[in-house]
Each structure stands twice: as structure tokens, then as C-alpha cells.
Amino acid sequence: MAGLYGQGNGYIGVQGRSETESGVFGYSNRGYAGVYGHNDTNIGVFGLSPGNIGIHGKSDTNTGVFGLSATGSGVHGHSDRNVGVRAEGNPGLIAFSESGVGVDARGLAGGVIGRATGTGSAGLTGITERPDIGLAGDFVGDVRVTGRLLKGGGGFRIDHPVAPAERYLNHSFVESDKMKNVYDGVARLGTDGTASVELPEWCEALNEDFCYQLTAVGGAAPNLHVAEEISENRFKIAGGKEGMKVCWQVTGTRKDAWAAANPVEVEEEKPQEERGRYLHPNLYNEPEERRVRIGPAEPPQTPQTPPSFEPPRVPEPPPSYVFGMEAELRQQIDDLRQQIEELRRRRKR
């Protein structure tokens, strides 16, 4: 059976408080939950700590903390000044949703932090078995990637500029086997048929192996050419007519410290555990079982719910004990109510 069972139809099912040790400790080795909290209208289990962890879950062989909800959030993490949810492991965080959001995280310092230290492991993994109707991840706002971003395809999607309420407009990225940067602009040739083009002051520090393209606008310019290559972050165009408009484009290959330490491996051997598998097996007429598994194939096991039972009747304490504890218990309940109301107000912000 459960190590500790608490049920409350309108308020707290179990309350535990300790100044030096665990407020509530539950243990079970028969397949049930160590601590089980149930409440029809409020929080099943609530953990609060002013200076440390509110709720800590640990498991050597299964899920440390598991949250399940039919209509609400399975697990909700909130922090005013720090991380809402912190996950470390391989993968760091797994969240499954049949029809809603796998992870919804918000925080001033970080909504979710997932950390993985093993080779080929993932801090965060998003999986959708039906990419035609669902997304493995959905970010609203800026996303920062300080390492490599590996993808099969990509681009931007915006509301269509001609019909923003009815259609989307999709564009693909421009790909290369090198770390390319592209700069372009328009120059007007002077009286001598030349123009000097200024580039950002960091252009040469960032790039090498420059390539140039020039296009004359409004007429032919067979002698149009790059008279001087990039030096001191400028180059010179010559060979055109006075006042001619010239469109120019320059590409460079990154040479900064990060790029030098992380060169692009264009052709890469699959690791042994991924040999014979595909990122998209359906494109090669292979069964789904041959897919490269980025994360676990199956959701974590759902903890068994303890069967309903009548808790043992506890002998009533003497009246003097009850009267002595009454004021303290009322004060504790009032404090908890205030804390819960404060959390509700924060969630509505």
C-alpha cells in the first residue's frame, strides 16, 4: 500500500512540517507511491521551502517526479527570480502530451534548463510522431543556441503579407557546406566610374576567403569589376559609368575562435547504435521501427494509483492535547492558505 495517503475534498490532504528534518517522508517497495496526495478541488501535494527545494523526487530506476493530469498541467513549475524547472539527465526532461503542450515554461532567469553530460545525449528532447499535425517543440519569443544547430530543413513562417488572416508565407534557409556570411548593398559610381564600399569594422576579423558579385543596373557595364579587394574593411568598384547604380554582394567564411574550434563536418559516419537506422525511414520505404531514436520510444511508466481504502482509525488524543494544539494548527492553516493564495495571484499575472 502507500507509505502515506492523504485525501482532502476542499483543502489539504496531508500537512507535514519540520524545522530540521523532512516534513513528510513516504516509502513503499510494493509498486505503489511512497507519497500520494489527492484533492478534488485543490492541490493534491504542495511543497514550499523559503530557502531550499520545495519538492524533491529521486529514483534509481524510474521517474523521480511524475505528473499526470486529464485537463490541466501535469507538472507546473514557477519561479519569480530563478529557474521554473531544472532538469539534468539523459535526456534532461521528458514531457508527453496527447493533444496539448509537452512543456510550458516561463521564468525570468530561465523557464527550463536541461543538462546532459553524456556523448550523444540530449538535455531536452521534443518528439512528435505526426509532424503533419503536431510540433516537437513550439517557442514563442527569442531562442538562443550557443552550440551547433542541427536540422533537416527549416526557414521562416510569417503571416502572409498579402492575406495575413488567411495564409502563411514560408521561406527556406540558404544552406552551405561552409560557415558563410553574406553582405550586400547598392553603390553609386562617381564621376570617374568608381565607388568605395565600406563594410562593418569587424568584417575582416570575422571572415576570410571573400567572394564578390557585381550587377550593373540600368545599362550594360562590360568593364565593371572589383578594382581593389577588401582591405581595412572596404573594397573598390571600377569600370562603370558616372552615376551608375551597382548592386554588390560579398560572401565570407567565418574564421572566429568558435568557428575555428568547431569546423563543419560535412560527411559524418553514423555511430554504431544508429547504423541501419534513418532520421526519416518513411522516405526510404523503411518501417517506423528503423527510426533513429533521439529520445525514449515510449513514455515513462505511469505510477500505480493506490486503491481506495479506509485509513486506520487513530485513537483520539486527550482533550488537553487538542486544546493545546488548536491555536497552533489554526495558525499553520492560515499561513498555508495565504501562501496558496499568493501562488494563485502570481500564476494569474
Query: Which stretches does DSSP call E strand in the chain?
Result: 4-8, 35-39, 83-88, 110-115, 155-159, 168-172, 180-188, 195-198, 207-217, 225-231, 234-238, 245-254
C-alpha grid cell for residue 42?
485543490
Instruction: Say what the pLDDT of residue 322 is.
Output: 44
Q: What is the 3-state secondary structure (H, E, C) of 155-213?
A: EEEEECCCCCCCCEEEEECCCCCCCEEEEEEEEECCCCCCEEEECCCCHHHHEEEEEEE
Hey, how many other C-beta atoms are within 10 angstroms of the C-beta on 32?
Answer: 17
Tens-place pLDDT, residues 12-50: 556 666 666 666 666 666 655 666 666 666 666 666 666
Letter string b/e over residues 329-344, b meaning 16 or more CB atoms within 10 A of that residue's CB: eeeeeeebeeebeeee
**Mean pLDDT throughout 242-264?**
96
Calculate the dihedral angle through the C-alpha atoms of 234, 238, 241, 242, rounding to the nearest 10 degrees. 40
Predicted local distance difference test score (pLDDT) of residue 132: 65
Query: Residue 78 and residue 333: Cα distance in Å, rounded?
Result: 22
With contact defined as beta carbons under 8 Å apart, do 204 and 255 qualify? no
Q: Return the pLDDT at 91.
A: 57
Check whether the bond before 200 is cis (ω within 30° of 0): no
- In angstroms, rounded to a whole number, what is the distance separating the alpha carbons of residues 143 and 40? 38
The 10s digit of each residue's pLDDT in 289-322 is 898 875 554 555 555 555 554 544 444 445 554 4
CA angle 133, 275, 269 (to 5 degrees): 100
pLDDT tens-digit readout, 157-201: 899 999 999 999 999 988 999 999 999 999 999 999 999 999 999
Residue 94, pLDDT score: 66
CA 69 to CA 204: how far, in whole Å? 55
**What mean pLDDT, rounded, does the chain reach?**
77
